[in-house]
A and B are shown apart, each in its own frame.
Chain A
């Protein structure tokens, strides 16, 4: 146990680690959801968007990496650590996953939500717990709400609390399933800027499922396009989101134009006939 935690901390300190996913297949009931997903190396410090039509397997891919679904894979590792045999506590040291579904009424204050995340497993944090809690709360701009009931917060504010929960133990890998759903534009951009900042500052690899292609293009370092359980394109926005890929993945006629700020702007003209 001690050895395992040392090995993981050691990897975290030795610079950039890489998430490798190769030949990952997953079957849910009778349906083959993922058919041998192969991804290029994904490095810590980057934000990577996963996009694709409904049912392409985006959430399933995240849940396989997070360890909530059993899957077959040639490779599924973070740095030198194979993710598959990890116990929940060891996995939690390495990665955090935020599902799309929001929890029901919690009757907890924001501070209690953060304390649960700190104490739920017996994993040490380097700074004293209170210090770490205040640091993360300040970093995410939620330190003034610590005494408020979390149920009273807006959707956007809650999303920041869930992010803070995930960041308390300084994971290397953050898996977010549609964190922008139900957020207004202000909060959408706030959260994406925050993720970029955290990834670059803390050497965090963020894998985020997004529906808004323009937000993906603007804020992420790489985009992974999934269709029918396979990766059909991966790379920076300009390479991954071409009219041809968009037509193949989403069955839409689309244009990619450079906007005045220089980022590619995806304009969808019409759905294509199936």
Chain B
């Protein structure tokens, strides 16, 4: 370290390592994708999957239907929903300056679920929209209200980090109580679908759902990446970010809008899947730090990896009963959550 003349700039090695990391993450996701499609009640050979994907398979094959119409969209849904939740959690932890923030822990997902259920069960929704969109729009409106309520509590009431977490818990309980009330009021058939959806399941995912979530994810990720520097600046606190020229209120407002959109759409499509938005940002931070140019995409990748991994695990736990993936992520997520809490106390 005597002279820097001729040596690569200090950040170059770090950048190369991060590119390799994201590359490795992508490779693991691809491997999991193949494993996920291959596994299930009827195992399918990798060669047959390739035949379907490359277009060589006959449309009348049962494999064609299973791979192309069921398992591929479900696996891709796991990737895009996982990425959406990972990204939403990362942005939420930054703008609320709270390592325990995520759409699931602070009630945004529950709010979205309540909004969607109001539309599905009671038909309380924005008039004039087709049912499918109306459900998602309801989820979005409720998620947005919840996000901004949290922001208001954090900034206007100057509530501390612990206070926000407690408020979040109160919101989760509140929205879940209202959801339970809706269940009492609804008939048995509706209840069955509601229960399944509340646990978070990829089972119903089809191509149009995948396309919708992927498109929204692409748009929000692009917008987030454009805000990567201002978001990183927020980590220094509002006044330091402000003196760097960042309009902190504007950055925060748009970030919460993106968080609500991602959380609401993923809830509307696959239900409430817990803990991914909480854990993925923590893993991403350990891997690449908090430079948001790397932190945001890494968190999205880790989120995709976790949800796809949970889907594979759910299929291998039981070949006969389809276990909702949300149950797996929650059971795996709780020890992680406790680990995060324990680490916070020590530091």
Identify B245's interface contact among A92, A108, A115, CB under 8 A: A92
- Near B by CB (< 8 A), chain A positions 215-229 give none
Q: List residues of A (84-128) whose CB comes within 8 Å of B's CBs.
A: 87-89, 91-93, 95-99, 101, 103-109, 111-112, 115-117, 119-121, 123
Interface string of B267-291 (1 = CB under 8 A from A): 0000000000000000001000111
B1-43 at interface with A (beta carbon < 8 Å): 1, 4, 9-11, 14
Known: A88-B246, A89-B245, A103-B235. A120 touches B9 (CB 8 A): no
**B244:A165 contact, CB within 8 angstroms:** yes
B290 in contact with A106 (CB, 8 Å): yes
Whose C-beta in chain A lies nearest to the C-beta of B236?
A103
**Cα A208 to Cα B243 with chains together (Å):** 16
Cα distance, A82 to B10, chains bound together (Å):
40
- Contact pick for B246, options A101, A107, A120, CB 8 Å: A120
Q: Are B289 and A120 in contact (CB under 8 A)?
A: no
What residue in chain B is nearest A92 (Cβ atoms)? B245
Contact A130/B9 with A98-B240, A120-B245, A123-B245 known, Cβ cut-off 8 Å: yes
Is A6 close to B, CB under 8 A? no
Asked if A112 and B239 make an inter-chain contact with CB atoms under 8 angstroms apart, the answer reads no
Nearest Cβ in chain B — how far from A150, in angstroms?
Answer: 10
Query: How many angstroms from the CA of A63 to the CA of B240 in the assembled complex?
Result: 11
B233 on interface, CB distance cutoff 8 Å:
yes
**Minimal beta-carbon separation of B213 from chain A (angstroms):** 29
Q: Does B297 contact A (CB under 8 A)?
A: no
Q: Are A106 and B236 in contact (CB under 8 A)?
A: yes
Contacts of A210 in B (CB 8 A): none
Do B290 and A121 have beta carbons less than 8 Å apart?
A: no
Query: Size class of A's contact patch?
Result: 35 or more
| A147 interface residue (CB < 8 Å to B) | yes
B333 at the interface (CB under 8 A from A): no
Chain A residues within an 8 Å CB radius of B237: 99, 101, 103-104
B-facing residues in A140-179 (Cβ within 8 Å): 143-144, 146-147, 149, 162, 165-166
CA distance A165 to B236 in the complex (A): 11
User: A24 at interface (Cβ–Cβ under 8 A)?
Assistant: no
Most buried by A among B241, B242, B347: B242
**Considering the chains assembled together, what is the distance between the CA atoms of A147 and B248 in angstroms?**
27
* A117–B237 CA distance with the chains assembled, in angstroms: 13
Interface string of B74-113 (1 = CB under 8 A from A): 0000000000000000000000010000000000000000
Check A66 against B243 for contact (C-beta < 8 Å).
yes
Across the interface, name the chain B residue whose C-beta is closest to A99.
B239
The smallest beta-carbon distance between A91 and chain B, in angstroms, is 7
Counting chain B CB atoms within 10 Å of each CB, which of A67, A93, A111, A149 scores highest? Answer: A111
Q: Taking CB as reference atom, which chain A residue is nearest B97?
A: A104
By the criterion CB–CB under 8 Å, are A109 and B246 in contact? no
Docked pose: A162 CA to B243 CA in angstroms: 12
Residues of B within 8 A of A (CB): 1, 4, 9-11, 14, 97, 229-230, 232-233, 235-237, 239-248, 285, 289-291, 347
For the complex of A and B, 8 pairs with smallest distance between CB atoms = A121-B245, A92-B245, A120-B244, A119-B229, A120-B233, A107-B289, A107-B290, A97-B243
